[in-house]
Amino acid sequence: MGANAVNINYPVDSFGKQIRNEESLMKKPALFDLTGRVAVVTGGNGGIGRGIALGLAEAGAAVAVLGRNEEKNQRVISELKAIGVPSIAVKVDVTDRAGLEPALNRVESELGGIGILVNNAGNVSLSGGVLQEKPEDWDNVIETQLNAVFLLSKLAARSMLSRKGGKIINIGSMYSFFGSGLVPSYSAAKGAIVQLTKSMAIELAPHNIQVNAIAPGWIETDMTAPVRTMPMNEEILARTPVGRWGQPEEVAGTAVYLASRASDFVTGTTIRVDGGYAIR
């Protein structure tokens, strides 16, 4: 090296890999740069999941969307490819236990080892309460909102162990903290997500795997559309200090943070993204 050569100490990500993409570092702070990471987002073809998938892609991650609606899968893949990151969509229903491991295996064969898992896929039974809710509807919500999170996290964590690190992000809800007489199965599952997040965080911390949750407030999605036509919509707006519903992309920033090196010392926590709803 010449006398005037400069030794550059490139930043190191949470997997011990030097980040050398100078153009990428110029575009976004190194701490939040996800270049070289592979992210899986369940239910990433619409609503909050789509917003998170696009946000992770904007931060540089390769993104795999897991969803059961092929038309919506292809729509979001077009958006991801327009951002310019490697991406695939895998058609799978997260309640199909036998299909989960093959889905993740396909992601790893096509994109590489999974470093980020976002457990976002969800559904709801607007039953009106335990007296009205059918057992089969209860089972389907719990299978989608809770059991699939456990199963996918277990599979992804095993893969992350081989690379000595990773990030698991679970999606909770305001009903992780508050009860609801209208959607008891949804509330039960989302409450359990917070405790599952804490438990996994304790177990996986020694392996450099951080596990956290995001609790969105009232976000405009297809799933919440019925609520916006109900009398409780006025109560929601009055209780939310910002005075409006949130947009799916407004959850993405928190997901990028929890997926990045910036959150390496953050685990077992649940971050509310709710426009202040929970402080009243």
pLDDT of residue 84: 97
CB 88 within 8 A of CB 62: no
Q: How far is it, in rounded angstroms, from Cα 123 to Cα 141?
A: 6
Termini Cα distance of the chain: 62
Do the domain assignments include residue 249? yes
Q: How far is it, in rounded angstroms, from Cα 191 to Cα 179?
A: 9
pLDDT tens digit sequence for 116-140? 999 999 988 878 888 999 999 999 9
Do the domain assignments include residue 15? no
> How many alpha carbons lie under 13 Å from residue 181 in its C-beta half-sphere?
2
pLDDT of residue 124: 85
pLDDT tens digit sequence for 150-185? 999 999 999 999 999 999 999 999 999 999 998 999
128: left (phi over 0), alpha (psi -120 to 50) or beta: left
CB 134 within 8 A of CB 56: no
* Three-class secondary structure of residue 209 per DSSP: strand
Do the domain assignments include residue 161? yes
Do the domain assignments include residue 141? yes
Selecting among 175, 186, 257, 277, the annotated active-site residue is 186
Backbone angles phi, psi at 111, to 5 degrees: -115, -25
pLDDT of residue 128: 86
Which residues of the chain, if any, have pLDDT below 50? Answer: 1-26
Query: 129: which residues sit within 8 A by CB, 6+ positions away?
Result: 181, 182, 184
Q: Report the CATH number that the domain containing residue 193 is assigned in CATH.
A: 3.40.50.720
Do the domain assignments include residue 99? yes
CA dihedral 217, 218, 222, 227 (to 10 degrees): 140
State the sign of the Cα–Cα–Cα–Cα dihedral 84, 87, 93, 97: negative
Kindly report the number of other CB atoms within 10 A of residue 180's CB atom. 15
The token duo for 218 is 């009232």
pLDDT of residue 27: 52
246-256 exposure pattern, b = at least 16 Cβ within 10 A, e = fewer: bebebbbebbb
Residue with tokens 């599979």: 155
Do the domain assignments include residue 120? yes
Do the domain assignments include residue 5? no
Q: What separation in angstroms does the CA of 87 have from each of 73, 82, 108, 164?
A: 11, 10, 12, 23
Residue with tokens 């804490």: 198
Query: Which residue segment(s) compose the domain that 238 sits in?
Result: 28-274
pLDDT of residue 29: 73
Task: Provide the number of structural domains found in the chain.
Answer: 1
Query: Is 10 among the catalytic positions?
Result: no
Q: How far is it, in rounded angstroms, from Cα 197 to Cα 171?
A: 10
Q: How many residues are given for the chain?
A: 280
Do the domain assignments include residue 23? no
Report CA 280 to chain centroid distance, whole Å: 26
